[in-house]
Chain A
């Protein structure tokens, strides 16, 4: 079924080449990957949080390219606005001095073994599977998914899941307060 949809989508793609979108995708994707590598390799924990901001902002830009405006805005508000601040709080509450923290990484050999033994094979496997499944299927995010459409879907088809997420958020925040409280 996926393949049928894919061929159908490929047929509807016209002669448009979408050069600008592809160029911007490449630039943003490159920045995201560099920043993500820095997040997992930098010694300074505060710098890691700031590199994470670039990855998250890049993801928001990709959502704009995919014509998903509401997700992009939510990404910026929730991730960059709230989660990064939470991370910085966590860093500053769990560290005596701001600086490098070498002893909190695995040894160089262990890290190389993890990179070569887990991440790289996983990436090759994923790359092979994705290319095998979708090859060069093209698509155009034809219609902008408007915010009102998202709202209709949330309060229509996905109402029960939405309520469950609300309860989950309340429970998680109360749990976080109970855990972090000094008593």
Chain B
């Protein structure tokens, strides 16, 4: 297998996720796009781990999964609170800190 086929797949997923983060205004959808980006990174880590025959790539992929779980839990709690306070999850409206 080519190493690059996995890296290209990850790059495409990363760019799609990047588009989602920027183009979506629904808070939940932004979090989903972040998940796409994290998965792209994970594919890279595992591919390089297999390429170099090094277990470190796998361990760090596991760490990324754990951190992604934590990020989604906190992120969804934040979105829930924003919805409760403002009756909207449009991230464009969150400009209360604008000077």
A residues whose Cβ falls under 8 Å from a Cβ of B: 5-6, 9, 18, 21-22, 25, 29, 32-33, 36-37, 39-40, 45, 48-49, 52, 55-56, 59, 62-63, 65-68, 70-71, 74-75, 78-79, 82-83, 86-87, 89-91, 93-94, 101, 103-106, 110-111, 114-115, 118-120, 122-123, 126-127, 130-131, 134-143, 145, 149-150, 152-154, 157-158, 161-162, 165, 168-169, 171-173, 175-177, 179-180
By a CB distance below 8 angstroms, the chain A residues around B68 are 79, 83
Given contacts A32-B13, A66-B46, A179-B74, whether A122 and B80 have CB atoms under 8 Å apart is no
- Neighbouring A residues of B3 by C-beta, 8 Å: 6, 134, 137-139
The SS class assigned to the B binding surface is helix
Among B16, B20, B89, max chain A CB count under 10 A is at B16
CB-based contact A48/B32 at 8 Å: yes
- 5 inter-chain pairs at a CB distance below 8 angstroms, sorted by A residue, are A29-B5, A39-B20, A40-B20, A123-B12, A145-B49
Considering only CB atoms, which chain B residue lies closest to A103 in the complex? Answer: B90
Interface residues of B in 1-43 (CB under 8 A from A): 1-9, 11-20, 22-29, 31-33, 35-36, 39, 42-43
In the complex the two chains form, is A153's CB within 8 Å of B56's CB? yes
Interface on chain A toward B: helix, strand, loop, or mixed SS?
A: helix
